[in-house]
Amino acid sequence: MADLAPGFLDFWRRWLKNSKTKPGSPPDADMEMTAEAGGSQPQDLTDDTSEGFWIASDNFDGFPPGWPLLARQQNYYHNGSLHRRFGALHERVLMYEEVTLSSLEQQLLELDKKDDGNASDRSKLRSLSPAQMRSGGKDIERVCEKDELIQEIKIRLKNYFESILQGKELRQLPRVSGGEIVNLYYNARDGHGLDREAMRFLRECEDFVTPRTERLHNRLEWLIFGDLEGKQWYKRLLLRPFVASKVNSDKTTMAQRIPQLRVKLVLTVLVVLISSVILLSPVLILYFSNATKAWSAGVVLLFVLVFTTIMATLPNMKIDTIFIALSAYMAVMVTFLANFQGGQCQC
């Protein structure tokens, strides 16, 4: 026990000293709305208690403005990791490979025809090539022209097929809206001082994708992106409670931090409200009104259209999922109408 006391006291002393620092927040916890100002003064990491680790996950100290700080922000923020797909360039490379492979295919066909026209070489078309039949060190340096051509075609075909599959995978990633790219543009220009040539890759707004699938803020872009002071009064009123940091005095480098948890809270409340309106409104309308059969059918049809429209506008929503949800909604409405009509007075 006496041997453990110094180690325990040292651990307790180090824990108390580290507890005074800002605790780390979970990754992807915040969103950046507009251009972010440059990094602050570098943090002194020479203290033995820090052991060289970053204590706060949102600590940008020590990263100078420009590519280093921008890359760290892209990795940290929930609306980061925006990458260009280079779709047109990819198609250009594929077309080049297709033309090249077509030419090589024609060359191989000409060699086959040449062998077929020669009685001594005709056996090459019906058996293994001389290079494939060689064994050991016998004539190992000698490779026929056709074998070299086939090996070149093999390598190009492999790269061509891999490039097609990689392009397919990129197309399946979530698309990034133009507002996201404009937001990144102002961040890179005003917050990090990148010049126009450095930001050339941002010109193709519709060519950007992101590997992050859970992008909860997409439906709230009209509210969260842009100059907070330049928004309409109702947008400022809706946004103020969710802004995590104050607006900088310099409006050209203005940035507001919105924690992702607050975005989840807003979306959860909106989903509950919208679901309640869609599910309960037709029930209340039919229950508290002396509705005829035609009126009841019209109300049900209207809310079915509203329900289907909302489902169709949700991101990554498939047709079969919409049909299943619509069937469940219709089953609830039909059951209510049957019970409601059956419970009415028939006198």
> Which comes out higher in pLDDT, residue 315 or 137?
315
Residue 235 banded pLDDT, cuts 50, 70, 90: low
Q: What is the pLDDT of residue 20?
A: 44
Structure tokens given for 217? 């803020």
Is pLDDT of 272 > 70? yes
Q: Say how far apart CA 278 and CA 330 lie, in whole Å.
A: 12
Alpha helices in the chain (DSSP H): 4-18, 67-76, 87-117, 130-133, 145-171, 178-186, 221-224, 233-239, 260-288, 293-313, 319-343
Percent of the chain with pLDDT over 90: 13
Is pLDDT of 318 > 60? yes
Q: Report the C-alpha dihedral over residues 200, 202, 203, 207, rounded to 10 degrees.
A: 130
Q: What are the two backbone dihedrals, phi and then psi, of residue 176, each rounded to the nearest 5 degrees?
A: -110, 135
Residue 46 banded pLDDT, cuts 50, 70, 90: very low
Number of CB atoms found within 10 A of residue 70's CB: 19
Q: What are the two backbone dihedrals, phi and then psi, of residue 208, each rounded to the nearest 5 degrees?
A: -100, 145
Residue 32 banded pLDDT, cuts 50, 70, 90: low
> Which comes out higher in pLDDT, residue 239 or 78?
78
Q: Give the CA distances from residue 74 to residues 13, 30, 60, 84, 85, in Å, rounded to whole numbers and listed in that order.
A: 36, 11, 12, 13, 16
> Which comes out higher in pLDDT, residue 140 or 212?
212
> Which comes out higher in pLDDT, residue 222 or 8?
222
How many residues are recorded in the chain?
347
Q: Say how far apart CA 176 and CA 206 lie, in whole Å.
A: 7
Is pLDDT of 143 > 60? no
Is pLDDT of 28 > 50? no
